[in-house]
Structures are given as structure tokens and as C-alpha cells.
Structure 1
Amino acid sequence: MTELPTPQNPESVFTYGAPQLKFGPGAADEIGYDLSLTGARRVLLVTDPGVARAGVAQRVADQMGQFDIEVAIFDGSHVEPTDDSLGEAVAFGRDNGPWDAFVAVGGGSAIDTAKAINLLTTNEGELMDYINAPVGGGRAPSKPLKPLVAVPTTTGTGSESTTICVLDVLSMKVKTGISHARLRPTMAVIDPLVTLTQPAGVTAAAGMDILCHALESYTARPYTSYERKQPHERVPYCGSNPIADMWSEKAMTLLAGSFRTAVRDGGNLDARADMALAATFAGMGFGNAGVHIPHANAYPIAGRVKNFHPKDYPAAEPMVPHGMSVSLTAPEAFRFTFAASPERHLRAAELLADREYPGLSDEELLPAVLVDLMRDIDIPNGCGAVGYDSSDIPDLVDGTMKQQRLLTTSPRPVTEDDIAGIFERSLRLW
């Protein structure tokens, strides 16, 4: 196999960042108090139509009023944000500002929408200026952002912990993102009570995002495998490191005990609480170490969707939910990366497995654990089950290779042929 080159001057420093964290049933009812400590008097609450209809966003807004905070609600967040939907959200933020702070109530889509509004109401320029190169300009914000409180109502993206805003660029049919430390929310408010309405299909897809966050950051190339950087050159994704490893392992342990239960019995508050913690812990892991091949593959799977309509998602247009798209090539991706760090792949399988796997080789163990879980929670059987076939692989590979920010985190160098092989073997997983 091709090894990573040994750096001439290896990195000896890793970085770690995380938001303030408040966890527990009822935590969402304390946001007004938390924001009052910042001196905020005018706040934009960002949510999506489904969460708005459920009344969760209004409940959060109402209790902020007790602290003389004026709240406006933007409920137009798009499930799986696009450059168009984020452009509309930013226009609303600019037209109705200025704002002292932002609150995001919803899944990763609402939180990422709030990140984009915060970025572009505090800094000049347009969305494409800040989108990661080579898709966009890759500009870094020059001014500080306002406080952002993130209240996840789904258990998956970990966006409440991370520096990433993910979106589809419609004209290019590619999923990409904006990444900078200033995008990280100021506070993550994790309230299991607001996740109880999450349907089984959403719980399954979003939960696979948690799992892949934890697995990819745990198996990412180590921070010491990079060339040493100057302080201003360091990025949030610095490679696997002892602190990120700790969060990733804990996330996997929580998932092993609660993932299947949360999908099958959405009213189980203990399972929901474990999933909510796992999402945040995995976010604290990958938000610092990074993710790699499954996430890079997921962007074109979602961005080039044809006619797939996922279970329990309200969107009228075709979509492959982010967590689902990440999972579809994960078994084969981790088969590919096994040789780079066998001990980590085996440890992950040990943490996640709910039964013994006699007779399997070490290389086969983690893919088998993942496939069993995916079957149990009703994830589609590979890329073919969401509408792709062999003729689509060149386009999918092209979209993946645009995600160099992610692919450089892979523990093995990865070529177009490698990615094509992973996609081919992922058309059907079982």
C-alpha cells in the first residue's frame, strides 16, 4: 500500500476548540438567561418550518422575552441547505438587522443557516467568497462574529460543536462547506426533550452521521503526520489527537448502547439523551481532528441526487439526507483505510459491536459491524438503493475529488481509482 510521506519537520502541536455546553432536560428553557449575560437585546432565532410548527422555536423565543430580549424568528431554513436557501436567509438577516446575537433551533440545517447569517451580517462579501476552495474563494472572516447559541433538535450533525457550515452548490451539483474557527457556536444547549419528536427515519440517518463523525476522526491521519505549521496556518481539522480520540471513543460507546433503541422507541428519554450526548461528543472529536473519505463521498451522493425520497423527511424535492449519504460508502471506505491503522479499526469495531463475529478477518470486522447496524435501522442498501449505478461513478468520483480539505485527512493517500473502487463496491452492501 502507499504510505503517507514522512514529514521533514513533523507537527508537534495540535489545537482543540469547543463551545460552552449546557446539557439536560429543560436546558432550552434557560437560553434567555444565558443571553442576558451577554448584554444581547435584539436576537434573531433561526429555525425550519417543521420545528416552527412543533412550537419549539416559539417556546424558546417566549422565554427570552422575560429578559427584555426582542426576538425575531426566521423559519425558512431549508433541510440540507443550498447556496440559494442560505442566500435568502442571509438577505433576511441583512435586511432586518443589526443583531446582537443569534439562536439556532433545529437540526444541523438550521444551525448551519444561522452560522451563514452570522458570518455574512458581520463580515463583508457574499457566500461564494467564503466557501472552501476550489469550489469557492476560501476567504477567512476578517471580523469577529456575534454570539450564537445552538439548540439541536436532531441527534446527528454535531453542528452545535463545530466550525463547519455545509451546503449544496446547486449549479455545480456539489456539496461543500465553509470552515473557520469563528463559525463555532458560542454555546451548545443540548436538551433531550426537544429531540423526542424526531422520527425513526431521521433518527437513523442522523445517527449514522454521528457514527461516521466518530469513526472518521478516530481513524484520521495523526496530527504528527503533517508538516509543522506556523500558528496562523493551523486549521480546525488538525488530525487525530488524544483529546479528539477521547470524545470519539465515548461517542461510539454511547451509540453502541442506545442507537438501535432510539430508532425503535423514540420516546425512550434515556436513549435520546445518550444520542444527544453522542452527537455533541462526536462533534467535539471531528470538529478538531477532521473527517475523511465517507464524508468526501457523501457530498456528491447528496449533491447529484436523482429521484430518491427518504423515509420520514418532509422535503418535497428528491434528497439523500447528509447522514445517510455519509453512511452509504462507510463500510468500504473503512475496509480501504484499515491497513493504515489496524488497531484503531479493531478498537472501533470492539466498541460498536453488539455480538461476536467468529471467522471474520480483522479487515472485515468493522465493515461487518457497520452493515449489521445499517440493516437493523433501515438504512438503504448502498448507493444503488438511492438511485445510482455504475454509469454514475465517474461523476461521483469527480465530486469527491473536489473535497480535498477532507481527503487530506485520510490515513491513506487516496486516488481517483481508489474512490471509484469504493463507490463500485458500495453500490450494494449486502
Structure 2
Amino acid sequence: MSDFLLQDLQNMGAKKVCLMTDRNLAQLPPVQTVLNSLVRNNISFQVYDGVRVEPTDGSFMDAIEFAKKGAFDAYVAVGGGSTMDTCKAANLYASSPHSEFLDYVNAPIGKGKPVTVPLKPLIAVPTTSGTGSETTGVAIFDYEHLKVKTGIASRAIKPTLGLVDPLHTLHMPCQVVANSGFDVLCHALESYTAIPYNMRSPCPSNPIQRPAYQGSNPISDIWAVHALRIVAKYLKRAVRNPEDLEARSSMHLASAFAGIGFGNAGVHLCHGMSYPISGLVKTYKAKEYNPHGLSVVLTSPAVFTFTAQMFPERHLETAEILGADIRTASTQDAGLVLADTLRQFLFDLNVDDGLSALGYSKDDIPSLVKGTLPQERVTKLAPRAQSEEDLSALFEASMKLY
């Protein structure tokens, strides 16, 4: 990997490189390999290892300040989604130094301005198999003032290049493999069941005004379905056997495939509802890392029961890919069949029994609904519109899974 990285940086004419990572990963082989290669080849660089896992507006701004001062002409992000997203934001605001932070943040929290400035090359090297952030034009963070997750979404901030090296996945603990795999699962399911691109509104006349997320479409569908087939075949193997290079390689690719799918189609309710779940959690501590994938997947049985009435054939098709026998299932059963299939999948991987296992109760539902409402960027992509009462019912149904 390091040889390719060096050649790519040299081909880009990079003279001063910003290497972004987090403090834990800075001590591990993926980053050490890159550092050794940069030193050996006399490429000028600076390391920023202050990436926060689950970034905030504050941690983004700290990285942005570093990038502005460094005057870099190329960026390398080595890490999970948090590192890649932080690096995208740093590149954007260093390239647009007079912009206010909220200028590019998604509406209704920010102004959601289109990105018109040229950015520097960014090479993303994912070390987890979940976010697919090396393929997307999205950077997610916690906006601490409002206690909600939001982000920046623009095709302009997509990495120039992603180096997907399966050897980087061998250091991942099993619980990280599981939780990141659930992120891939939901990326694929949500993008495949999102409202179709030709039903989404508004439809801006100028392409630069188009949102990064277009709704389900024939090209994203191919990536989503393929990613789902890989998850069905390899996720359990990748979790159960850390030495299974075939399974871990396949999940690393599935993450990128699903990223290409949802990076164009978008996600919807599982992700929209996950943001307040992970933002408001009080007592739960993930077994081995911050549980974004877990917060996404726990609502999936309820969500797809709710959305199935709009496109039941797609819900049945995905249930079959995940192992369900749908020969006698009717379209009216689609939501329940997919929900039961997901529950069995999660049960087999010892997933916590719903939101109650994360410390939530019915008393928290109003706060969870309130945290979901600003996530219009994704919730409007759900194939079925949802009221506050609908969201309350979905959270309630997700308190217990089994």
C-alpha cells in the first residue's frame, strides 16, 4: 500500500502533505507504514493525530485550523470514517479560508451553500470496514450546541482516491467488525429502499444545487445489492474468525461498494434515527468502540416494517438475499419478513437487545424524536413520510428486538 500511496502523491505533485489520523491509530501499523514511507522518500509532511472518534464541530474546527496553518498541497487520511470525514472538512475550509463554519453545513442547521472552490487532492486509506467514507462526499459531526448530528454533503469533498487495503482490517477487534458491518448492511438496505430519484423533490435546475443524496437510482442499486450479498455471505465469518482474510477483505470491499451506493442514493430512517441515539446515550459503553453501526442497526427491524408498504418487492428481495425463504411470502408480509430476517441476523451475532440495552426507556422517546427531526437531509429520503407519532412508534418498537 505505501508504495502506491507514495507514487500517487508524487504523481499529484505533492510537496507538503498533511497526514491525518487519531491518537490510537497513530501507534498502529497502518500509520507507521505510511510515516516510514514518507520519511524514506523525503516527502515533507506534518501529522495531525487529534481526530476525535465521533467528531464534533469543535474537533472539526481544530483540524481546520491545523490545515489552514500548514498550507498543505495534499492530504492523506488514515483511519475510519471519523478521520476521513475530519480530513474532508479540513481540506474544504483550508481551501475556502474566508468561509464561516456553518456556510457549508447542511440546512436547516447550516446554510448548505454549494462548494465552488477547488480543493486539494485527498487520499483516503480506510482502516475499518463500515463507513465507506473513502467513496462519499459526506462529512458527519456532532453539532454540540444543539446536541444533534449533522454534516457537510457535497460531491466536491469526495476523496480524490481511496486505497482499500484488506491487511488494514486484520487489527480490528471482532466487535468493531460487527458494528462496522452493520453500518454496511444499513447503507445497502437504506439506499436500495430510498425514495426513487425521479420522485424526490425539489429538483433544482442547476446541477450544483443538487443534493449529494439523489434517492435510489439504477446505478446505486447495483452497488447496494452487491454489497448486501457480500454482507450476507461474509459478515458472520469476518466477526467470528479474525484470521479469515477472505471474509475481512470482502467486507472491506463491501464497505466501499455500499459507499458508492449510498453516497449517491442516500440513506434514510435508520441513519436519521441513529444520530440522536448515539448523541444522547448516557450509560452505555460499547464493548470495543463507539457504536455508530450499532445505533443504526437497532432500529432496522422497525424501520423496514414501516417502509415496506411503499416498495414491498424490494424489501422481499433484500430479505431473500439475507437468507429468508420468500416463496410463500406475499407483498403484504414484506416488512415483517425482512424485520424477522434482520432480527435473526442480529441475534446470531449477539447484538444487544434493542435500545433498552443501551440505557434508553420510553421516557427518552420525546428527546429521541426531537433529535431526529433536524435530520431532514436523510429522513426525507425514506420512501414513506413520517409524522412525529410515527417516529415515536418506531423508537418504541426498537426498545426490545427479540
Q: TM-score, normalising length from structure 1?
A: 0.89
What runs of 5+ residues in structure 1 fail to find an aligned partner?
A: 1-26, 314-319
Within the alignment, does 1:389 sit opposite 2:361 as a pair?
yes
- Rounded to whole Å, the distance in 2 between the matches of 1:185 and 1:141 is 14
- Rounded to whole Å, the distance in 2 between the matches of 1:131 and 1:306 is 26
The partner residue of 2:200 within 211, 215, 226 is 226
The CA deviation string for residues 376-425 of structure 1, in whole angstroms up to 9 with x for no partner, is 22322111111111111111111111111111111111111111110010
**Given that residues 80 and 321 in structure 1 are in contact (C-alpha distance below 8 angstroms), is that contact kept between their aligned partners in structure 2?**
no
1:280 paired residue number: 256
Within the alignment, does 1:78 sit opposite 2:48 as a pair?
no
The partner residue of 1:328 within 283, 298, 306 is 298
- Rounded to whole Å, the distance in 2 between the matches of 1:388 and 1:420 is 13
- Rounded to whole Å, the distance in 2 between the matches of 1:235 and 1:415 is 23
1:303 paired residue number: 279
1:63, distance to aligned residue in structure 2 (A): 1.6
1:308, distance to aligned residue in structure 2 (A): 1.1
Query: Which letter does structure 1 place at the counterpart of 2:218?
Result: P
Residues 5-154 of structure 1: pairs in structure 2 closer than 5 A: 27-95=1-69, 97-123=70-96, 124-154=98-128
**Given that residues 136 and 263 in structure 2 are in contact (C-alpha distance below 8 angstroms), is that contact kept between their aligned partners in structure 1?**
yes
**Given that residues 132 and 256 in structure 2 are in contact (C-alpha distance below 8 angstroms), is that contact kept between their aligned partners in structure 1?**
yes
Query: Which letter does structure 2 place at the counterpart of 1:225?
Result: M
Instruction: Check 1:291–1:28 CA distance in 2 against 1; reply closer, same or farther (3 A cut).
Output: farther
For 2:5, what is the secondary structure of its paired residue? Answer: helix
Between 275-284 and 406-415, report the one with greater CA deviation: 406-415
Query: Which letter does structure 1 place at the counterpart of 2:307?
Result: T
- Rounded to whole Å, the distance in 1 between the matches of 2:326 and 2:154 is 41
The partner residue of 1:176 within 126, 135, 150 is 150
- Rounded to whole Å, the distance in 2 between the matches of 1:407 and 1:334 is 13
For 1:429, what is the secondary structure of its paired residue? Answer: coil
Query: Which letter does structure 2 place at the counterpart of 1:159?
Result: S
Within the alignment, does 1:412 sit opposite 2:354 as a pair?
no
**Given that residues 222 and 239 in structure 1 are in contact (C-alpha distance below 8 angstroms), is that contact kept between their aligned partners in structure 2?**
yes
For 2:340, what is the secondary structure of its paired residue? Answer: helix
Query: Which letter does structure 2 place at the counterpart of 1:337?
Result: T
For 1:413, what is the secondary structure of its paired residue? Answer: coil
1:6 paired residue number: none
1:325, distance to aligned residue in structure 2 (A): 1.0
Query: Which letter does structure 1 place at the counterpart of 2:159?
Result: P
- Rounded to whole Å, the distance in 2 between the matches of 1:85 and 1:412 is 35
**Given that residues 200 and 381 in structure 2 are in contact (C-alpha distance below 8 angstroms), is that contact kept between their aligned partners in structure 1?**
no
2:230 paired residue number: 254
- Rounded to whole Å, the distance in 1 between the matches of 2:71 and 2:187 is 35
1:356, distance to aligned residue in structure 2 (A): 4.3
Residues 143-222 of structure 1: pairs in structure 2 closer than 5 A: 143-222=117-196
1:342, distance to aligned residue in structure 2 (A): 0.5
1:365 paired residue number: 337
Within the alignment, does 1:401 sit opposite 2:373 as a pair?
yes
**Given that residues 355 and 400 in structure 2 are in contact (C-alpha distance below 8 angstroms), is that contact kept between their aligned partners in structure 1?**
yes
**Given that residues 43 and 69 in structure 1 are in contact (C-alpha distance below 8 angstroms), is that contact kept between their aligned partners in structure 2?**
yes
**Given that residues 243 and 285 in structure 1 are in contact (C-alpha distance below 8 angstroms), is that contact kept between their aligned partners in structure 2?**
yes
For 2:308, what is the secondary structure of its paired residue? Answer: helix
For 2:128, what is the secondary structure of its paired residue? Answer: coil
Ranges of 4+ aligned residues in structure 1 off by more than 4 Å: 355-360
For 1:196, what is the secondary structure of its paired residue? Answer: helix
Query: Which letter does structure 1 place at the counterpart of 2:113?
Result: R
- Rounded to whole Å, the distance in 1 between the matches of 2:147 and 2:328 is 42
For 1:167, what is the secondary structure of its paired residue? Answer: strand
**Given that residues 389 and 427 in structure 1 are in contact (C-alpha distance below 8 angstroms), is that contact kept between their aligned partners in structure 2?**
yes
- Rounded to whole Å, the distance in 2 between the matches of 1:378 and 1:322 is 16
**Given that residues 239 and 288 in structure 1 are in contact (C-alpha distance below 8 angstroms), is that contact kept between their aligned partners in structure 2?**
yes
Within the alignment, does 1:345 sit opposite 2:315 as a pair?
yes
1:270 paired residue number: 246
- Give % identity: 45
Q: State the aligned residue count.
A: 396
Instruction: Check 1:29–1:310 CA distance in 2 against 1; reply closer, same or farther (3 A cut).
Output: farther
**Given that residues 114 and 208 in structure 2 are in contact (C-alpha distance below 8 angstroms), is that contact kept between their aligned partners in structure 1?**
no
- Rounded to whole Å, the distance in 2 between the matches of 1:357 and 1:29 is 48
> Per chain length, whose mean CA-contact separation is higher, i.e. which structure has more relative contact order (CA < 8 Å, sep 6+)?
1
- Rounded to whole Å, the distance in 2 between the matches of 1:29 and 1:49 is 24
- Rounded to whole Å, the distance in 1 between the matches of 2:106 and 2:40 is 40
1:380 paired residue number: 352
Between 362-371 and 55-64, report the one with greater CA deviation: 55-64
